[in-house]
Every structure is written in C-alpha cells, then in structure tokens.
Amino acid sequence: MFHTSFKKILFFSLTGLLVSTPSVALTLEELAKRLDKLEQQNTFLLQENKNLKEMVGLTNEKAETAIAASEALADSTHGIQKLANWADKTTLGGYGELHYNNLSGKGAAADKDQVDFHRFVLFFGHEFTDSIRFFSELELEHSLSGDGKNGEVELEQAYIDFDLNDQHTARAGLFLLPVGIINETHEPPTFYGTERNPIEKNIIPATWWAAGTGLHGELGAGFSYAAYIHSGLSVDSGFNIRSGRQKVSKAEANDLAATARLKYTGVAGLELSVSAQHQEDMGQGLVPGLESGHLIETHAIWSTGPFTLKALYAAWDINGSAIEAVGADKQRGFYLEPSYRVSEKFGVFARFNQWDNKAGSNSGAAANSEKEQWDIGINYWPHEDVVIKADYQYQSNDDNNEQNGLNIGLGYQF
C-alpha cells in the first residue's frame, strides 16, 4: 500500500509537471482518480499474494496429511500381512473325551459308577521356517485341577523339529516317546474302546513323555527310525512303572535314559515296529536295591479291507535286589485286537489283554499277580473326527480283584 507522504510527493511532482508541460492534458481530478485506482490495484495484488501464500501452506498441509495417511496405511497393510503370514504358519488343534463307567467290583476292586470328562487337550504349532517347526500339547485331565481336585494340567509336548535334510530331522524339547501304538497317537477317533488298553497303560506306560533330544527320519525301503536321549523314570520303592513317570516336572536327572525305535511300513496295510529303552538307574539313585532296567516293545498292525488285527507285546527287565525280592523285576503284557469296519460309520472290535507287574523270579512274592481282561464293543463315527463308543469289559485276575461292566465314551479331534 502507498503511504500518504509518498502520495503527496507524487501529487506535487505531477502537478509541477502539468504546470510546466502544457502538452499534458490531465486535470488534477483525473490524476487523483488514477492514483486511487493504482492504490486499489496494489491492495488487490497484496491480498492475492497473501491468498497465494495461504493456499501454498494449505496445499503443503494436505500433502503432509496425505503422506502421513499413506504411511499409516502402509504400516497397517504390513501389519495385516504379517498377521496373515503368522496365521498361515500357526496351527491349532485338539481332542477330548467324555467317559461313563458302570463297573461292578469284586474282591478289593471297588464298584465304579462315574461320569468323567477324562481329557481336554489343545495343540499349538508354529512353522518358523520351512525347516524349523514347533509343536505343543496342553492337557487338562478330569475337568478340574488344583488342591483337593481330581485333575491336573499337564504339558505333554513342547518341542522343536529341525530338518537336517529331506530324510532326517533333529528334535529337542519335551515329547512323547516312540513306544507302543497309542503313546504317540491316542486321539479318541483313532482307536477302539472307551478306555485305553491296560497293557500300554500299565506296562509301557502310556501316555509317557520326557525331555531330551535326538533324531527321527526315513531310512528308505519302508523303514523309519527314532532315537532319543531323554529324562528317565524315577521308580519308587513300590516298583510301579507307571508311578515312575516324572512328567518333566523338576524331574530327577541323575540318570538319563535312551529310547530307539525301528518301524517298517513298506507293505500296504502292514506296520511292524520294535522299540527298546535302557536306563542305568531306574530309581535315580534314590532307591536302594534298584538298578538298571530295559524295556522291549514290539507290535504289528495288519489291515486288509475292513479288517484290522493289532498285536502288541511289552516287557521290562529290571535289576536290583530289592525289586527282585518282590518279583517286580519282570513286568510284561500283551494284547490281541481284531476289528471290523462294518461301514464308514460303524466298527466292532474285541480285545484280549494279559499283563503282570510282578512276573519276576521270586514266584512266591509274585503269586496271584497276573491279570486278564476281555473287551468287546462298537464304535460309531457320525463324522470321521467324532466318535461314540460302547464296550463291555470282563476281568479274570489271579488276585480276584476285578471290575466288570459297561464303558461308554464320546470323543473328538480337530
């Protein structure tokens, strides 16, 4: 904007020019009008300049906002993609089983009339890379755990597999041992009978897990193997193998164990397997008269059409003066199980079980220790991953402590 002093100087200069130059025909009035017009134009230009500056500032702000929004969208997209990749490499599964047992006791065996949600299990797995994988299994038994409750929460598996090549894999962590038929595969739709068979329960003893490391893989021509060094049993002075499972809960590790399995599946419908375990001190140095022990387990599964036959034998040979004195230095058992898949949804089975946890050399101390159990029943699969079971068990035990009656179960896996 023009200042007043400048206008005055300009006015008098032009006036003098008009007076001294007669050829200029502008009057003072016209000159004043032109000055006003110039002032208006100058004001307009200044306002336009201000407007332009404001517009440039607004445009920069919009550009910054757009850039920020673009970056936020990129971050969000990256996060969503990362979550999608994580979900694609993470697996969730599980299984569970509800049991009803109505058994009549004989001798010291009590009557049993119970409903029990025996197991609720969740699987979690994750693939870090194509060659490094994690797997875990978390189990709640008997619905409730804690002080005074019937159940417990157990971590049955938590291990990492490292592929060394296409045939061989290293494993480290907490895992199920490669012994028997149901120890590694025990989801309810995969086997007959409401309860797991007594041989693998009382002799092997399933479900049996440990912490350690080792290798598993393929040898070719239908042969596969597994070999591990791991935490061992801690059998107490009662010499019950099942109670010796430490479940990797502050487990005594004075003496480790080694387990190996060789399996053959080179013929369609046939599986042959042998497992062996050795532990130098079955009592972890805590039980006098209890020394080394080894387990041998072998089984065969033959399927042809709807017919399947399973046979399993397992035996412990344990050294030590104290365990020999009660005849528990030899513990063994076997079962035979034929089954027939009537249709896609129905199957029937029968199973004969015989076992003895005191089959040792001291026959006097081990008298009346052999047990037998017959099971016969039906499985109904409304879906391949859901099963309803019903079976009758009959025991004939040398000690006359028997439970006979009906078992009904509902099971699932996903």
Domain ranges of the chain: 4-79, 91-413
Taking the C-alpha atoms of residue 38 and residue 45, their distance in angstroms, rounded to an integer, is 10
More confident position, 139 or 71: 139
Q: Please write the tens of the pLDDT for every residue from 80-100.
A: 877 778 889 999 999 999 999
* pLDDT band with cut points at 50, 70 and 90 for residue 18: very low
Asked whether the beta carbons of 319 and 292 are under 8 A apart, the reply is yes
Supply the pLDDT for residue 1.
45
Query: Dihedral of CA 174/177/142/348: which sign?
Result: positive
Taking the C-alpha atoms of residue 233 and residue 231, their distance in angstroms, rounded to an integer, is 7
Average pLDDT over residues 314-325: 97
Beta bridge partners of 136: 124, 158
- Topology given in CATH for the domain delimited by 91-413: Porin (2.40.160)
Q: Nearest CA to 279 among 261, 255, 262? A: 255
Q: Say if pTM beats, i.e. exceeds, 0.75.
A: yes
CA-CA distances (angstroms) from residue 370 to 295, 310, 311, 328?
19, 22, 19, 12
Taking the C-alpha atoms of residue 242 and residue 275, their distance in angstroms, rounded to an integer, is 18
For a pLDDT cut of 70, what percent of the chain falls above it? Answer: 83
Identify the helix (H) or strand (E) that includes residue 69: helix 28-88
More confident position, 15 or 270: 270
Q: Please write the tens of the pLDDT for every residue from 367-382.
A: 789 999 999 999 999 9
Average pLDDT over residues 87-114: 96
Asked whether the beta carbons of 277 and 257 are under 8 A apart, the reply is yes
